[in-house]
Amino acid sequence: QGQLVESGGGSVQAGGSLSLSCAASGYDYSRFCMGWFRQAPGEERTGIAAIDSGGSKMYTDSVKGRFTISQDNAKKTLYLHMNSLKPEDSAMYYCAYTSIRCRLLLRPLGSDEYNSWGQGTQVTVSS
């Protein structure tokens, strides 16, 4: 049984930066699609970035140019570097894993495509 553990959340002022990490264990790291999702109170969980085991990346429009997803295969760790943060970026952030390559998914940023989730880490951006 695999496990995903997020870390790095916190509070920051608008315009600031934060980096999130997601340590993966017990998964096949040779073939996967991994994503970052966020959920604000009263809202649905939405995908914001995904990365394929081959390295291809995708982002939702609201974070393009501000957020960068990356992976370290040796450390089996997924990252999300967030710049120019806005109050509307405040949410619980989750990482997710599926052993299916991103290019084979119907919706790589769709939460129903993933079968393993971390416990989440809170990001709060104040104005």
Q: Confirm if 47 and 37 have CB atoms less than 8 A apart.
A: yes
- Amino acid of residue 39: Q
Q: Which pair of tokens denotes residue 60?
A: 């939702």
Return the pLDDT at 29. 87
For 58-111, the pLDDT digits (tens) are 999 999 999 999 999 899 999 999 999 999 999 999 999 999 999 999 999 999
DSSP code at position 8: -
**Residue matched to tokens 């129903």:** 112
Look at residue 1 and tell me whether its pLDDT is greater than 90: no
Task: Return d(Cα 2, Cα 112) in angstroms, integer.
Answer: 18
Q: Tokens 């394929």: give the residue.
A: 52
